Amino acid sequence: NAGVTQTPKFRILKIGQSMTLQCTQDMNHNYMYWYRQDPGMGLKLIYYSVGAGITDKGEVPNGYNVSRSTTEDFPLRLELAAPSQTSVYFCASSYVGYSGNTIYFGEGSWLTVV
Amino acid sequence: GESVGLHLPTLSVQEGDNSIINCAYSNSASDYFIWYKQESGKGPQFIIDIRSNMDKRQGQRVTVLLNKTVKHLSLQIAATQPGDSAVYFCAETHTPPGANSKLTFGKGITLSVRP
């Protein structure tokens, strides 16, 4: 039972570098999300997608881009890494319907920008 | 504005005692609430949820209480065990059927279980 899988687990970037955090889910969920979690804080929504081909900004989208070409995959792109993007990133997915919206999270990706 | 907040940043309990973690929310339109547990180095894990048409829901050793009058949510853990040590988040959303629904998370409270 893989659930939500994200890679890499850890990464150190230099200021100005670019990278992509990969995320895939095998639960056929329609919604996918990227959150960031700063130390001692709750989760902030970066971007989300309600289905393949559709993405929307969350609370803190600046400095990030996403795409959703398939139901399973939702990569997060950092184009010009900045120290403010040092954080733990969580990918998540859910099936949104009449029964509610329970989100399932990946294990997290620890990113440090130096 | 919308916010979901937790009253205390840390909670220390004796093993075997019951734990109560409280959460306040400010969005009156919220109709769906979830408690998550996050262990060190891991992603949040779903514990229990409750819809606004209920005021209590029970799971295995956990109970969630919802007081819509004062916009308050609590998580009760019975017979707290060392494995319950983690950060707990409440989250809220409103879910019109078929519409976008995004969770708003509180900051989290750390539960520490003393042996």
In angstroms, how far is CA B96 from the centroid of its own chain?
A: 21
Query: Which of A4, A40, A100 comes nearest B51 by C-beta?
Result: A100
Identify which of B79, B93, B82 has the alpha carbon closest to the alpha carbon of residue B30: B93
| A chain contacts of residue B108, beta-carbon cutoff 8 Å | 40-42
Q: Do A106 and B43 touch (CB under 8 A)?
A: yes
C-alpha–C-alpha distance, residues B96 and B17, integer Å: 38
* Distance between CA atoms of residues A22 and A15, nearest Å: 20
Q: What's the rounded Cα separation, in Å, for the pair B21 and A37?
A: 21
Identify the pLDDT of residue B97. Answer: 45
- Tell me the per-residue pLDDT of B49-67, one tens digit each, with 9 for 90 and over: 998 999 999 999 999 999 9
Q: Does residue B3 carry a pLDDT above 70? A: no
- Coil, helix or strand at residue B40: coil
What integer pLDDT is reported at residue B113 of this predicted model?
96
Judged by a CB distance cut-off of 8 A, whether residue B49 touches chain A is: yes
3-state SS class at B84? helix
Whether B49 sits inside 8 A of A100 (CB atoms) is: yes
Cis peptide bond N-terminal to A8, omega within 30 = yes
Q: What angle do CA A86, B47, A42 make, to 5 degrees?
A: 25
| Residues found in chain A | 114
Q: Which residues of A touch B46 (CB under 8 A)?
A: 102-104
- The tokens for B16 are 């075997």
Give CA torsion, residues B21, B22, B23, B28, to 10 deg.
130
Question: Sign of the C-alpha dihedral, residues A23, A27, A28, A31?
Answer: negative
Q: Is the pLDDT at A89 greater than 80, yes or no?
A: yes
In this predicted structure, what is the pLDDT of residue A102? 74
A20 pLDDT exceeds 90?
A: yes
- Taking the CA of residue B28 and the nearest CA in chain A, the distance in Å comes to 17
Q: What is the pLDDT of residue B2?
A: 41
Q: What is the mean pLDDT of chain B?
A: 86
pLDDT of A98 over the 70 cut: no
Which of B43, B51, B95 shows the shortest C-beta gap to A90? B43
The strand pairing partners of B111, in sequence order, are: B11, B86
Q: What are phi and psi of B100, to 5 degrees?
A: -65, 140
Which tens digits make up the pLDDT trace of B16-39? 999 999 999 888 888 889 999 999
Q: How far is B100 from chain A (nearest CA, A)?
A: 7
Residue B1 has pLDDT above 50, yes or no: no
**In chain A, whose CA is at the least distance from the CA of B39?**
A107
